[in-house]
Amino acid sequence: MVAWLIHRYGEKIKDFIDGYFNLLTIIFTALLILGFIVVKLFVQ
């Protein structure tokens, strides 16, 4: 996914990812966990 973003948007997105990698990773992980929780609650 990162390779596609760099290919699509170039150096601009690379600098953004390099600068905010930790924050982006935490947000992605939180959204992933919340997604599993939502699915678990609605599938019952």
User: Alpha-carbon dihedral of residues 29, 35, 37, 40, nearest 10 degrees?
Assistant: -140
Instruction: Tell me the domain boundaries of the chain.
Output: 2-43
Instruction: Measure the CA angle with vertex 21, ends 27 and 8; round to 5°.
Output: 100
The whole-model pTM stands at 0.65
CA separation for the pair 18, 6 (Å, rounded): 11
pLDDT score, position 6 = 86
pLDDT one-digit tens code per residue, 1-40:
778 888 998 888 888 888 999 999 999 999 999 999 999 9
16-23 contacts: CB < 8 A, separation 24 or more?
Answer: none
Local structure of 24: helix, strand or coil: helix
pLDDT of residue 11: 86
